[in-house]
Structure 1
Amino acid sequence: MRDDTIELPGRGPVAERAATPGGQPGDLTQELLDTDWWSDDMLVRAGIPVHDVPFVSVGGGIGSFVTVDYLRICGVPTSAIKVLTQLNTPWESYEYLTRVSQIPRGERLRSDSASCPDNIWGFPSYGIREAWATKSLKPLWHLLTEPFLNDYWTPKAGHAFDSMEREYHRIGYPETVVKGQVRMVRRRIGGGYFTILTPPEGAAPTRRIAYRSRYVHIAVGYPGLKFLPDLQEYREKTRDYGSVVNAYEPHEQIYQRLQAAPGTVLVRGGGIVASRVLQRLIDDRDRLGLQTQILHSFRTFVTGSHGPHIWMRRRGGDGWAYQGFNYPKSVWGGQLKARVRKLEGQDRADLYKQFGGTNTPKRRHWQAQLRRGRQQGWYQAFQGEIANLRPGQNGTVHVELKTDQGPRQVQVIAVIDCTGLEADVREHRVLADLLDHGGAGRNPLGRMDVERSFELRGTRSEPGRMYLSGSAANGGYFPGVDTFLGLQIAAQEIADDLQTLGFCSGLGPLRSTSQWWKWARGKRI
């Protein structure tokens, strides 16, 4: 593990000492666990070595990556940044989730052409770069005619990951990384924060080390998956984790079973993941000549356009609510962004409820597949809920359904749950500790409460600041936080705030133009 200690002005490194009797060097003492504000001496007594660095980012995913990208472009050296992570690359978790939810590298994501985590300027966009790489005008025509003559253009997953990898090396991101699991972040008496890291076994002489910093950025991604009670109960009783699955889990075994013998599968959910799972099932059916039967359960069955008024309506039909992207485009820079920024409390929660909800893009290819399935009878969609799950005969699952047409019982080889439910923020140990000991609170949607600058409200330790971006901030003053563009907007707000505090240079016209030319030429910064 890297051991390049960086001292802040007036703050020397804390010397290592032996742990208290009965403990091991680097143990978290009861004093540390119970205390909200830590002093340097408390870590000395615990025998936890401390390294100084001005800025720490916790998580190491795409949220950390785009924030470090902004700071590097704004003139912050790699020596002033540490990213504490268990990930090998910033896109590792996201690529895993997209792959298991049936969006491998060759398939297209839901982001638009200008949402580029590797390029803060958004130009040239993914579409223009694809046209250049393929020497084809087809992507440009697609961009010019979306969404009227064509579906919205979206980048291939592999293109996004490869582009991030180039920027990853260009900004020297690997130089900032320290591997390990973050245990907690606590405020420091005297200003700033201590971030406790558990390094890989054998990588350090103590069980834990601490990073003392003036600024901390939390970007831990999704706290975890929340399984619906029926799914969880079935798995706990039967220990069957292969037939009743969440779509964000590896479930290739289900497609393999369908290839080996005909069967029926139940898909639950109405979002982008459900549409991708259905497309995979139908692609396999067409390509391999399978006899797969598909049952599709919607919790809410949408039959047409809907919304509170004519200016806030969402198209729908055949059970689906249609929308090109995760949120209306105006949340990133239009009316909704400005409106949400002014709202507080329940008013903000109510507006989120109006433009939120499960939806999926209306793409011509899989729409044609589902239409054919309805006509030929092998795809059945209905409104319903699962009342009970139990093992059936010959390795099947017996499902009792409550549908709009009355009770129904079916035998399926698998249930693929695509509801995509996100666990409570308390499911993540760092976020839970911030709620209990860091002064953090919840916003109107129950996530972490952040300021307009993405400072985590209630956690200030002057002159230090703690920021948070990503899905844990959903429900704040800016919607769309868990998207590529949303992460970049959060990073820009954070960089602007840090610029006012004197940590980095501002991104004015001259610096922005100069840095764009460096990006375009692939020049290392």
Structure 2
Amino acid sequence: MEQQEAAGDLNSELLASDVWTDEMLAGAGIPVVDVPFVTVGGGIGSFVTVDYLRIAGVAADRIRVLSNIDHPWQTYEYLTRVSQIPRHERIRSDSSSRPDNIWGFPSYAVAEAWQERSLRPLLHVLGEPLFSDYWTPRAGQVFAGLEREAERIGYRDMLVDGVVRMVRRRAGGGYFTILTPPAGSSSTRRVAYRSRFVHLAVGYPGLRFLPDLQQFRETHQDFEHVVNAYEPHEHVYEVLKTRPGTVLVRGGGIVASRVLQRLMDDRERHGLGTEIEHLFRTYVSGAHGPHPWLRRRGGDGWAYQGFNYPKSVWGGQLKARMRRLEGADRAAAYAAMGGTNTPKRRRWQEQMRAGRKGGWYRTWQGTVDQVEPTADGRIASRVTGDAGTMTLLADYVIDCTGLEADIAEHRVIADLLEHGGAGRNPVGRLDVERHFEVRGTASGDGALYASGTATLGGYFPGVDTFLGLQIAAQEIADDLARRGFGARLGPVRSTVEWVRWMRGRPAGQKG
């Protein structure tokens, strides 16, 4: 006997069809909500896009944010916290990259100088990078600014709680975005949002462990001694405060540097006997790069760079050049500027030097062939490198490699690739136009946009940064204005709205 399909849920006809009609939704008993613009994700990518639209005069009742998080910085704050950047620590972002302020002025440094009644932040910025490290804002300052701007634009009024299942094209134009509401909040399993425009800012599709670490965890069901830096692992630092131990840190990026600093801070602050083995897959011994004008500093295993990308990515020659490249040429450009890197901070440079001198911080180069437990409860990593094969013993392994899952592991993107006409760009991510419309997904007079890390490999490299998200939002808002949705931000309107921002007045309103 065939199982009857539940009313108010996706049926086989909907799941199999690339284009849906209004009648198909009615037949399935799925209620439909009409709103011109929908953004999926609810993180900082969604927030900055909505911020631009509100400043451009789009009313809050014409926008809906479909998300399973309560506020835009929630996921980012979680990731920074578990990767050892609590609110009082500084993140990797420059002074003018303000996701709560599309104008970038006053900058974070100016705001901090005003709040603390001190010229030190301004003098720091003036001296970077020759006389001081790059100035960066504290995480808490960023979150507080986002909270104020969310209140100013009425973000909570636009937020709808739930998990988005898919986006399908609508016959006649526009899209249906299928939301699964929280249990008990709706009389049906699904709700369809019918809109002319959809924006995706779904963040990272997920974390992926290195194969050897994944095999160890699955085989031995040990999630305590082998951890990822992006998952909660505070227990490692707490145990090390109670007894001496050895930690194997794997990776050479910004998260690895933060984990190292936490281990070294605790060692210094509490007089601990912690020893650190540090494994680099690629060991950088000096300045490197394919061309004299694309070289970055390096040494002691690390590749050093102040920010995620060269600054010309955001508004210089490199940005203009990338917008002209196609196919293999663009992929080659990404490979040339890519690679793991981290800022060169004076504090942990001093700590590493002290560790090397004292013999409790040791660096290695190689790849791990196998990870297995020892008879005395430790973790043995068999490593093959330039020096041959060796075994590194540790009480804990912290993986800081930050490997990302394939975009198709996100169910909304996977459905777009299968049913929505979307494709992949030269580096395997979501293929978008210069104005961030997802190529191949147009539906009548509607458009589907995407921003954030899922679009890395497109015409603009810095997509997974604060300023990159704002540049994408500006491109999207300009394209929407061209289509008659919202006003274009010219000099007069921009100045008026900046004054409103400074005074804390609601965006896009008169008076």
Q: Displacement of 1:21 after TM fit? A: 8.5
Q: Displacement of 1:429 after TM fit? A: 0.2
2:470 matches 1:494: no
Which residue number in structure 2 is paired with residue 518 of structure 1?
500
**CA contact under 8 A between 1:382 and 1:404: conserved in structure 2?**
no
Distance 1:469 1:210 in 2: 22
Partner of 2:384: helix, strand, or coil? strand
**Equivalent residue for 2:187, pick from 174, 183, 205:** 205
Which residue number in structure 2 is paired with residue 409 of structure 1?
391
Partner of 2:289: helix, strand, or coil? strand
Give the 5 Å matches for 1:373-522: 373-522=355-504
Which residue number in structure 1 is paired with residue 63 of structure 2?
81
Which residue number in structure 1 is paired with residue 274 of structure 2?
292
2:273 matches 1:312: no
Partner of 1:393: helix, strand, or coil? coil
Which residue number in structure 1 is paired with residue 341 of structure 2?
359
2:215 matches 1:252: no
State the one-letter code of the partner of 2:371.
L
Partner of 1:460: helix, strand, or coil? coil
Distance 2:208 2:4 in 1: 39
Q: Deviations over 1:289-338 (max 9, x none)?
A: 00001000001101110111211111100000000000111101111100
Q: Displacement of 1:399 after TM fit? A: 1.7
Structure 1: give runs of 5+ residues left out of the alignment.
1-19
Which residue number in structure 2 is paired with residue 283 of structure 1?
265
2:22 matches 1:40: yes
Distance 1:142 1:291 in 2: 35
Q: Deviations over 1:398-444 (max 9, x none)?
A: 22122322221232111111010111001100000000000000000
Distance 1:339 1:198 in 2: 42
Partner of 1:491: helix, strand, or coil? helix
TM-score by length of 1: 0.95
Q: Which moved more, 1:369-378 or 1:404-413?
A: 404-413
2:195 matches 1:219: no
Q: Deviations over 1:498-522 (max 9, x none)?
A: 0000000010111000000000011
2:214 matches 1:232: yes
2:138 matches 1:156: yes
TM-score by length of 2: 0.98
Distance 2:377 2:409 in 1: 33
Distance 1:96 1:212 in 2: 32
Which residue number in structure 1 is paired with residue 285 of structure 2?
303
Which residue number in structure 1 is paired with residue 174 of structure 2?
192
Distance 1:521 1:140 in 2: 23
Partner of 2:493: helix, strand, or coil? helix
Which residue number in structure 2 is paired with residue 322 of structure 1?
304
Distance 2:405 2:377 in 1: 30
Partner of 2:426: helix, strand, or coil? coil
Distance 1:515 1:280 in 2: 42
Q: What RMSD, in angstroms, separates the aligned Cα atoms of the two structures?
A: 0.9
Q: Deviations over 1:4-26 (max 9, x none)?
A: xxxxxxxxxxxxxxxx9823221
Which residue number in structure 2 is paired with residue 242 of structure 1?
224
Moved over 3 A (4+): none
Distance 2:173 2:413 in 1: 20
Distance 2:360 2:388 in 1: 20
Distance 2:474 2:60 in 1: 18
Which residue number in structure 2 is paired with residue 262 of structure 1?
244
Distance 2:231 2:300 in 1: 27
CA distance 1:460–1:391, shift in 2 (3 Å): same
Structure 2: give runs of 5+ residues left out of the alignment.
none
2:93 matches 1:111: yes
Q: Displacement of 1:70 after TM fit? A: 0.1
Among all aligned residue pairs of Structure 1 and Structure 2, give the percentage whose two residues are the same amino acid: 66
Q: Deviations over 1:117-153 (max 9, x none)?
A: 0000000000000000000000000010000000000
Distance 1:147 1:26 in 2: 59
Distance 1:179 1:395 in 2: 44
Q: Displacement of 1:256 after TM fit? A: 1.3
Q: Deviations over 1:162-221 (max 9, x none)?
A: 000000000000000000000000000010000000000010110000000000000000
Distance 2:6 2:184 in 1: 14
Distance 2:32 2:477 in 1: 26
Distance 1:103 1:516 in 2: 31
**CA contact under 8 A between 1:449 and 1:457: conserved in structure 2?**
yes
Partner of 2:130: helix, strand, or coil? coil
Partner of 1:308: helix, strand, or coil? coil
**Equivalent residue for 2:115, pick from 124, 133, 136:** 133
State the one-letter code of the partner of 2:383.
L
Distance 2:338 2:500 in 1: 38
State the one-letter code of the partner of 1:258.
L
Distance 2:141 2:79 in 1: 16
Distance 1:291 1:405 in 2: 27
